[in-house]
Amino acid sequence: MDPGLIGRGGEINAICAFMSATSGAPAALAITGDIGIGKTMVWRHVVRTASRSSRVLSCQPALSERPLSFSALHDLLGEVAVEILSVLPSSRRTAVQAMLLGGTSSRPYSTDCSDAFRPSRERQVLARGVLDTLQALSAEAPLIIAVDDAQWLDRPSAGVLEFCSRRLHSEPVTFLLTFREESQVFPLGLDRVLPPDQLRRVRLGPLSPGSISEIFRSRLETIPPRHVRTRLYEACGGNPFYALECARALLEHPHLPLASEPIPIPVPRSLSDLMRRRVRQLTPNARRVGRLVAASSNPRERIIRAACDEGESWAAIDQAVDDGIIERQGDVLRFTHPLLRSVLYGEMRLSERRKVHQLLGAAAEDMEERAGHLALAADRPNENIAGMLDEAARHAASRGAPEDAAASQEQAIRLTTVGQLEKVRERTVRAADYHFRAGDLTRSRELIHSALASSPPGPLRAPLLLRLATIHYHQNGWPLAEQTFREAAQEASKDCAHRAHAEQELAFARLVAGDLPSASRWAKLSLRSAERAADPRLVAHSLARVALFEFLKGNGIRPDLLERAEALDASAGEEPIGRLPMLDPSLATGVVLKWCDRLDEARRRLADRYRQSLDRGEEVSLPFLLYHFSELECWAGNWDTAEEYALEGCRVADESHQLPMRPATLYALALVRAHRGLVQDARELATEALALCDRTGNVPLTSLVVSVLGFLALSVNDYQAAHSRLAPLAEASAAGGLREPSVVKFLPNEIEALAALGEVDLARSLTRQLEERGKSLGRRWALATGARCRAHLAALDGDQQGALAACEQALSYHQHLPMPFELGRTLLVRGMIERRARYKSVARDSLSQALGIFEHLGAPLWADKARRELSKIALQTSVDGLTCTELRIADLIAQGQTNREVASAMFVTENTVQTHVRHIFQKLGVRSRTELAARFRFTVASETLASRFSAKQTWADLPAPRASVEDLPMNITDLGDSSTCTRNYAHSHDLYKAHPGGRRSVKRNLRSTKEL
Ligand SMILES: Nc1ncnc2c1ncn2[C@@H]1O[C@H](COP(=O)(O)OP(=O)(O)O)[C@@H](O)[C@H]1O
Ligand SMILES: [Mg+2]
């Protein structure tokens, strides 16, 4: 896809499919659509793609060149001039040459368009020459004649091309044209000469809102906030060119419009001229209706009629429909072109607009609409209308439209009577809260600053500072947020409620700074303040934090605290608009469940929370949720979904300018891409995330990002790099008091790296720690991966029995762990150990299962590891044909010994050695000692050889996998049903295969989660 081209995949596929289906014979395809809809962009893309397999002659005629005869033909054939002139018969060559030279021969062609089609001999000769050219070129490769804006072809060129098109019968020549919508006739008369199935029009319709936003992102320096984008989209009807022009004009204004202002979209002069001409021709009745419709956000015919002067309304609306500016869609009236609305509204004087809004306000049936119109009709402050707007704002917020609520609230500020300082402050803060929820953090901050400016020091400032600090952590990062929370705590002084709130956030800020002990202290302090304030919601939030930090410190899940927190939170009713917590009790529980391997339960909770945020229009909390969601789905092996959530998170974080949230979503994306083996991609994402973590001050997130880099290094067998990334994380988490095993997901990777580097003691001690904590807390992930690490280390010690027993233990934990990638890794380790122990058939089984899992998930780097192991078994099999003596001899030869040295080492004659060597060569099919050494070294590591010479074990001697984990110590019984992970690892393949993965929208994913 063209790097600048956004969307249009469907249309391009249709075009390419048509072109390849019709490429054997003359065909024509026209891309049509309004000006600026993107015809040229698509045309260019298709031309570029087609030029890989076809010869393309192209031109882009312009209106200004239309009077110049043959300018288009000159552009089309200019490039191939040298090539074609030599093959043309002389008279035709002269004619074509003269045309290409721009008429240096004796003025053969008039610039007068009227005679372009007059049959003159010269023109005939030229046309024949061009036809010869097209035929000659198309004999070598399919030929495409590509004309952008065919309506501007100069008539003589068009005449020649038309002449040719009538004479092409079986040549592979495709005309690829673009032209404006208004022209109904197919250019060059192609519809008259080509059979219908060789002719196609592809009309480019409006782009989607998402694509238009994407275009803004790629073309504009500042991206307008979402509500402005929505209005731009509506005003420009999905036309990218209009949308860009209008956005640029709009961004030049110092203040962006509010959601409630009707048509603030300025139409750039170049575009509006056309519309203005149209509007000028309207009859007074049609114009009156047009203005009413233009001023309405939801123009229903009933309301417009009521707002029109009595009696004439029917006729007036009919007139506007007849004049072609308005069309009826059921009860709704719409402009035939979206820009008409901007022009009609823009041409009214202020007094006229007020009058129109007055009429609409009187006719409105909906209270939000009425308040909005009356506000725009008012020419001075009016407490009555301001009160209506307060009510309208509450109404809008309760239907999940904080954007609209913010707009009404801002109107209310404007209409507040002079001197009512308290009222202004109150409305300002409420408007700030609505903006915050809608994700417009910048406006929210401006309003809070203005409220702070009018507030004296003392407790009044505390709630404002709390809001400001919250905005900082969403927008600027943690250090500034923490500092502001401290100020808020100081200002709150004896006001326990505000103190509790500030202390809760300070607890979170300390956690983000990597200081868990202090975070825990603040959380406990906040609980005390909240209890003093006797505010159930505050108590609930403090309890949730205390529980979370206890969990992280390794003190297990505290269902007593979490349940109480949730119950209290629920009893406190709807959250007040002024409280904007990042972590509420339900989310805290969801996150804890996620860490504790209870992915299904966690998924349900996060989904509920996500839906709630969507329903309330709370953009601001989405990135944090999406990051957790994405990580969860990555662990669960649903990588398409994980990627989708991460991308959506990045998008929302960008759109709502939440810089500190971006690294979290980048991390989630890097994590899934790392699992997918997209090394470069994942590294770049991680690098960007690290830089942002640094700027915004987030220590735990930095560790997560670094852990992805460590995992990547491990995936490509760069153990040294893996260790140098992961070792500091292991030290920091130990030093920071992070004793919960399930939050140090990087630990098994570090252990594997250490083992590979020969640092066995440290690896063993970390493994012991992981397993001990896993056991005391009942964490299956820790137990499964811990046992896997133990297996690895036992194998290194040559304790095959112990290693295989540990594998079986790990697999029994996997039965209740819905993490297929981890299962794959354990099977890989088991397969490796079995292979080394020479249990070939079971090794092949384990490795094939691992390979199947990695392939199914799409983890190529890990699939390669499994494949490499499998190929070693194949080689081993050939080595297996050797007798014990032959094996010893082969081993010594592989070590570089001569026959004599081998003979003396084995107390046999040199002749005997020679005979054995001959047999070894035959059995292994090798022809030299070097080849033998290479094969042998690759296949059988010396420690494996040693094991082969010892007594043979059989598969039956190995311990059977444990059937259940009933004997696991559990302390999570009160938190709901823990038996949801009932999948047997042998069937887990099919289970997660059946999981509805694939590319679906986030909402659809969530719907299916609800149905779980
Ligand atoms: N699909 C698209 N992706 C990105 N930008 C687009 C797209 N379509 C149109 N544009 C923008 O709109 C402008 C006008 O598009 P263009 O292809 O010239 O329209 P047309 O040829 O239909 O008049 C382009 O310069 C580009 O900035
Ligand atoms: Mg164009």
DSSP state letter for 175: E
Ligand 1 atom nearest 204 alpha carbon: 22
> What distances in angstroms separate CA 193 from CA 131, 190, 197, 199, 513, one per listed residue?
15, 5, 12, 10, 74
Q: Across residues 810-832, what is the average pLDDT? A: 96
C-alpha of residue 35 to centroid of ligand 2, in Å: 7
C-alpha of residue 39 to centroid of ligand 1, in Å: 7
DSSP H or E stretch at residue 785: helix 780-796
Site to substitute for ligand 1 among 11, 241, 270, 271, most atoms within 8 A of C-beta: 241
C-alpha of residue 148 to centroid of ligand 2, in Å: 7
pLDDT digits (tens, 9 = 90+) for 487-502: 999 998 889 999 999 9
C-alpha of residue 43 to centroid of ligand 2, in Å: 9
The answer, yes or no, to whether residue 50 has pLDDT greater than 80, is yes
Which ligand is in closest contact with the Cα of 35?
A: 1
Q: What is the number of alpha carbons within 13 Å of residue 771 lying toward its C-beta?
A: 19
Pocket of ligand 1 (CB under 6 A): 4-8, 33, 35-41, 215, 240-241, 244
Most confident stretch, 258-267, 571-580, 907-916? 907-916
C-alpha of residue 153 to centroid of ligand 2, in Å: 13
Which ligand is in closest contact with the Cα of 41?
A: 1
Site to substitute for ligand 1 among 11, 41, 45, most atoms within 8 A of C-beta: 41
Nearest CA to ligand 1 atom 16: 38
Threshold 0.75, pTM exceeds: no
The answer, yes or no, to whether residue 949 has pLDDT greater than 60, is no
The answer, yes or no, to whether residue 998 has pLDDT greater than 90, is no
C-alpha of residue 6 to centroid of ligand 1, in Å: 9
Nearest CA to ligand 1 atom 15: 38
In the chain, the percentage of residues whose pLDDT exceeds 90 is 51
Residue carrying the six token digits 């004619």:
95
Ligand 1 atom nearest 34 alpha carbon: 22
Which ligand is in closest contact with the Cα of 31?
A: 1
Lowest mean pLDDT among 147-161, 186-200, 574-588: 574-588
**What is the per-residue pLDDT for 879?**
66
Of 807, 803, 738, give the one whose Cα is nearest residue 773. 738
Ligand 1 atom nearest 37 alpha carbon: 22
C-alpha of residue 171 to centroid of ligand 2, in Å: 28
Nearest CA to ligand 1 atom 26: 241
**What is the per-residue pLDDT for 404?**
87
Nearest CA to ligand 1 atom 13: 241
Residues facing residue 334 across a β-bridge: 327
C-alpha of residue 219 to centroid of ligand 1, in Å: 11
pLDDT digits (tens, 9 = 90+) for 317-354: 888 888 778 888 888 888 877 778 878 888 889 899 99
Q: Please, which pLDDT band fits residue 635 given cuts at 50, 70 and 90?
A: very high
| Residue 522 backbone dihedrals phi, psi, to 5 degrees | -60, -40
pLDDT digits (tens, 9 = 90+) for 732-755: 998 889 999 999 999 999 999 999
Ligand 1 atom nearest 41 alpha carbon: 17
**What is the per-residue pLDDT for 555?**
95
C-alpha of residue 355 to centroid of ligand 1, in Å: 39
pLDDT digits (tens, 9 = 90+) for 446-471: 999 999 998 888 778 999 999 999 99
DSSP per-residue codes, 474-532:
HHT-HHHHHHHHHHHHHHHTT-HHHHHHHHHHHHHHHHHTT-HHHHHHHHHHHHHHHHH
Which ligand is in closest contact with the Cα of 241?
A: 1
Q: Across residues 868-874, what is the average pLDDT? A: 86
**What is the per-residue pLDDT for 191?**
87
Mean pLDDT for all residues in the chain:
84
- Burial code (b: 16+ CB inside 10 Å, e: under 16) for 440-463 equals bbebbbebbeebbeebeeeeebbb
Distance between CA atoms of 239 and 530, rounded to whole angstroms?
53
Which ligand is in closest contact with the Cα of 42?
A: 1
**What is the per-residue pLDDT for 972?**
30
**What is the per-residue pLDDT for 268?**
67
Q: Across residues 6-35, what is the average pLDDT? A: 91
Nearest CA to ligand 1 atom 14: 36
pLDDT digits (tens, 9 = 90+) for 131-176: 999 998 999 899 999 999 898 898 889 989 999 999 998 899 999 9
